[in-house]
Amino acid sequence: DVIRDITSGFKSDTLRPQNGTVRLSVGSRFEGSGWFRFTDRLAECEMNNHRDGRISQKVDIDRRPDWFGNHAIFNDGLLSRLFPLGAKPGKKPIMAMMSSPDHRGATGPLIFPMNFSIVYEKTETITVGAGTFEARKFQITDTAGELPEEHPPYEMWCTNDQDGLFLKGGVGGYMLTHYELVELERD
């Protein structure tokens, strides 16, 4: 089992990441914790993890990242916000800073720069445990060469509204992982 306690802060005008924290346990063992900060020219992390001990990381970047991949499933849905409501289907390259190169986020935390694409495929009505929703379907692609082990294609559906809530998603291949929203309360 992987348990992550996550926080993320975003710029309200661009939805690009400002900061975040990750605390990670794998099985019953503490794996690590870290604090992340992102600017237009720098990604940095202060961390302590089981494998490496105490580390400070600073990575020079050309621009603020499009996304902070902290491995929370809810966070995947936030990628849908990079396609404004009413946008036509299409593909966008993403420059991300990940908290771990492991597909489960089960290492680190540490800064792991990664490029990939998000593809907005279509709008459709889907039913999950939490109900029936008008959803937008996306796929994460172009991960070849970016990770220690190539990530199989990942499909996800998010609410077709300003919230972009994750409804369901799945990935095949060696991962064989599927997620579904089973309960939702909105005010």
pLDDT of 38: 97
The residue that leads in pLDDT, 102 or 149, is 102
Q: Report how far residue 70's alpha carbon sits from residue 36's, in angstroms, rounded to the nearest whole number.
A: 10
Query: Considering the entire predicted model, what is its pTM?
Result: 0.87
Output the pLDDT for position 9: 93
Closest of 103, 186, 181 to residue 140, by C-alpha:
103
Nearest to 17 by CA among 101, 104, 94: 94
Collect all residues with Cβ–Cβ distance below 8 Å to 78 and sequence separation of at least 6.
Answer: 10, 15, 67, 164
Structure tokens at 11: 């710029």
